[in-house]
Amino acid sequence: MTFSTSTLDFSILPYTEGVTIPVTKPNPTFLSDIGEEGMRDLLDRFYMGLFTSPIKDIFPPSEKSMKIAGQYSADFFIQICGGTAYFSQNRGAPQMRKRHAPFHITPHARLHWLVTFEEALQPIVEQKLSTQANIQSFWNYLNTFSQWMINNRD
């Protein structure tokens, strides 16, 4: 998707089974731009979007537990963007593939996950809370990272 005043590319990379493409961490200045609270707000919007999405069944069943999961995820993204290592301090090494192994994550679920994340990013885009380059870097990370989490076929 391209916005009228934006060069952001929110296209979704195709998934190829058995191919693990290298992932590049987001620009740390994305976190500097939006701050820890901005990251927490982003992940709260994202998880509340997932709570009503077609893939809600692979997530916690209550709004309260979903908000907690969103904050764990915010800890991860703060850490991955070069901030404080909250995730490792509170939950151990990320090992995200291992953590996601019990959940049925298909290429189709990945698409819903990414679309919901794009929607959650829109306030950051619209309010110009970060540069387009930093937002693009974050999206590119999500696009690749999400492929790593697929563990089942459709």
61 assigned to some structural domain: yes
* Residue 23 per-residue DSSP state: -
Is 21 within a domain?
A: no
What does the pLDDT read at residue 5?
A: 61
Note whether residue 141 is domain-resident.
yes
Q: Flag whether 73 is in a domain.
A: yes
Residue 75 lies in a domain: yes
Q: What global pTM score does this model have?
A: 0.93
Helices (H), the chain: 28-51, 63-80, 86-91, 96-100, 107-126, 132-149
The answer to whether residue 129 scores a pLDDT higher than 70 is yes
Task: Tally Cβ neighbours within 10 Å of residue 104.
Answer: 12
* pLDDT for the residue numbered 96: 85
pLDDT in tens, 28-59: 999 999 999 999 999 999 999 999 999 999 99
Task: Read off the CATH number of the domain in which 54 is found.
Answer: 1.10.490.10
Domain interval for residue 144: 28-149
Q: Is residue 16 part of a domain?
A: no
Q: Is residue 127 one of the residues assigned to a domain?
A: yes
* Residue pLDDT, tens place only, 2-37: 444 678 999 999 998 888 899 999 999 999 999 999
Tell me the pLDDT of the chain averaged across its residues: 93
In a domain, 4, yes or no: no
What are the pLDDT digits (tens) for 74-107?
999 999 999 999 999 999 988 888 988 889 999 9
- Quote the CA–CA distance of 135 and 9 in Å, as a whole number: 10
Domain count, the chain: 1
CA pair distance 142, 93, nearest whole angstrom: 19
